[in-house]
Chain A
Amino acid sequence: MTKLSKGGMDRRQFLSTTAAAALLASVSMPKIAFGAEKTVKIGFLAPLTGEVAAWGKPGLDGCHIWADWINADGGVKVGDEMLKVEFVPYDDEYDPSKARAGAVKLIKEEDVKFIMMLGGDPWPGASQVAEREEMLVSTLLPSDLTPDTEMLLAPCEVHPIYNVTGVEWLAENKPDLKTAVICAQDDALGKPSVATYLAAFEAAGIEVLDEPIFFDPATTDFAPIMSKMLALKPDIICLDTCYADYVHPLTEQAFQQGYKGQMISCTADFYQKMVEKTSKEFMEGFIFQFPDFDDPKLNEPHVNFKKPNDFYQEYLKRYGAGEWSAVSWEYASIMDLWADAATKAGTTEPTDVLAAMKEGGVGKHAFGEADWWGEKLFGINNALVGLWPVVAIQDGKAKIQDFKSIPDWWDQHSDLLIKHMKALGQMYYQRT
């Protein structure tokens, strides 16, 4: 046996000690940044694994493209400096206790200046930490907003309010459709969305047949749900804000059970797979709310998202066509808003950036100028609301049909939305 030292260490001991030391170093040593470039760190606290990862991971991928482009241009201008942007991800696994640990790590150890979250279940875990540390946080789920959440913003996706635009467009363009049925998973995402669709259908003069069907999130057999819906012979089948794992089998069931009418859904993530499993003809006219970013309509002057078509091509090049989802661009668009506000504020300090972001009560939303809004629905004006696209599948490809104004709809029908939200216990003051 070869002795590596006079102390008598053999090769096996040497290798195991070295491996242990390397592992220990990787666990305990802070990462050292070489070079003189100044960097601002942004936290990405969202599910990267598990059932809800589809609404976290693609967003992080989009952020990497955003950061590479911004950094290639020199970074974000803050005061007299150009700051490179570095994303620090933490997988919260959609669990509040892990979100709390993640928030602590990002704020106290990584010194991030802004945290982006998916929101929902994990938010209560992170909220107290964020409040104490006065950290600016964004969510994609404005149902997290309450009058107390002053540092929490919903600056991109005001789910589920934008769903009204799809129904409004449908009523204008297909006035012969008069009845609808709704199904949704019985959870925090499904319920407010059902309330919104109920309000939108009522505003559009479309009758909702029977009560909405709430199914358990653990459901795996969707045939009975679709049979029950089809038995009512509706003109429109509404899939609410179902997760991709439900939208796909429900759509397949509708196809297999011979449905030939209109379908509408909040999302149609990975819709190409649905087209493959059904047919182009069946999916023709399927309405949802999330465009592919190669759509030429995204080059209209009111759209603030920078180089959307290039962003889409780059995303497909890096991650593949099947990976694009509703959230692929959303976190990146929030970063546009944050970068503008940091430049305007001349600092990355969260409270100053928040003030700069909300200055004048308007902001540059990805799809156009928008208002900071939400007091009646969330108790606080921290949701950025403006135009939202209505998307339909045409010849197997998602295409924007129009941009509709959420504030315009709200001005006419706010009472309906509040009525249905109240009925389902979704108003901010009804939440426990």
Chain B
Amino acid sequence: MNFDFSEDQKLLQSEAQKFLQQQCSNDLVRSVMEDGERFYAADLWQKMIELEWPGLAIPEQYGGHGLGYLELCVLAQALGGSLAPVPFSSTVYLLGEALKMAGSKQQQQEHLSDIAAGKLIGCVAVTERLGGSIHNLPDSRVINGKLSGQKAIVTDAMCADLALVSARNANNAYSLYLLPLDQPTVTRTPVNTLDPSRPAARLQFDGAEVEPLGAGGKGQQILEEVYDRAAVLFAFEQVGGCQAALQMGMAYSRERFAFGRPVASFQAIKHKFADMYVAQEIALANAYYAAWALASDAPELPLAAATARVSAIDAYFLCSKENLQAHGGMGYTWEFDCHLHYRRAQHLSVHLGGAPTWKNQVATELLATKTAKEA
């Protein structure tokens, strides 16, 4: 048993952190958040492509580095900590993983190569209405290779080239399709979101050209597997966000004085930070376990991923909201950066389906197996 990342992986993480500290300031995050015409930080994305991050875990035959999920995990933690406003998760964790899992040889050759080369931005279009999730049969429909219907919110759709879309096929079976977004039968309308540093769009399809990804009727199953994998990577982004929010709150409380002493010396404040730290460490530990399950393709993945996901959702909400409170009234201003994490925490928590969905998965998986103690 060795429950740690390797020296190479840690080096990658610290290099990534250093790079993002220099290249991804909160001003950059705000430049996307405050400008309705900017849908991602294109310069930063370009530099990430130069570092060959999008192809990190893409096989070498498609021009990637052929590294594993553990490298993606450490990168995700750094990205989450910096609030990077780039379509990395949509392109790499979601579209990229779906292609790896269910794409034909030709789809993989074409699209994975483009992702690795930095020529393709992806997104995933699944949510149609309130309460909609990957577990419901979509209303969007594909007949004779033409897609009709709509998706209510699709993160990164404004900057993406290719969408993974869920729709029913001619037999009403839940299926997945690849949709090139740049065609006149696709209407993209920007929508306001809780976290405007991660812009999204509403999509309308009127007979758009699509091609199937994976077998007809297998859509839900593929998405569930893709989401289990993405949940682990999202958890690392969330933990990175927790760490940044906790550091931010502690730094402010150390500098700010009240009653003649640093605010950080009051037990009421210290205990708040201790609770944030505990939540963060639990989330990190569960993310480590899930990273192992992901990297080793272990049968525990659905339980481990859901556990990491629930802990990460809880921890980032706690850390981001209490960081804001620790800043007092200033924390509630637009000018201070507390709301950047508070908003991002909400975005990351609902993007793959909220906590109740994943808690339900934890309970189901747990009750489906006997633990060693019970066996």
A and B co-occur in one complex? no
